[in-house]
């Protein structure tokens, strides 16, 4: 299990969270992804995998 510890001097989270938040932050120039789009895509993939398993 990995623990994320906040940097006590600056109060920011781990640097890996910055990469994830870049996709949802409107103030950056990175690709903009809506969290609902991400969740819908995951659900569609899971349902598709279940359907494929039932067909085999």
1 within some domain:
no
11 within some domain:
no
CA 4, distance to chain mean position in Å, is: 16
In this predicted structure, what is the pLDDT of residue 35?
Answer: 83
Domain count, the chain: 1
| Domain that residue 20 falls in | 16-55
CA 13, distance to chain mean position in Å, is: 16
Taking the complete model, does pTM exceed 0.85, yes or no?
Answer: no
CA 50 vs CA 8, 36, 38, 54, 56: distances in Å: 45, 21, 19, 6, 10
33 within some domain:
yes
51 within some domain:
yes
47 within some domain:
yes
- DSSP, collapsed to helix, strand or coil, labels residue 14 as coil
| Per-residue pLDDT reduced to its tens digit, 10-51 | 555 556 656 666 655 566 666 677 888 889 999 999 999 999
Query: Are 30 and 23 spatial neighbours (Cβ–Cβ below 8 Å)?
Result: yes
6 within some domain:
no
């Amino acid at each position: 299990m990995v623990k994320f510890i906040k940097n006590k001097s600056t109060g920011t989270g781990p640097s890996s969270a910055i990469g994830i938040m870049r996709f949802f932050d409107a103030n950056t120039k990175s690709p903009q992804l809506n969290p609902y789009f991400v969740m819908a895509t995951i659900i569609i993939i899971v349902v598709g995998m279940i359907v494929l398993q039932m067909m085999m």
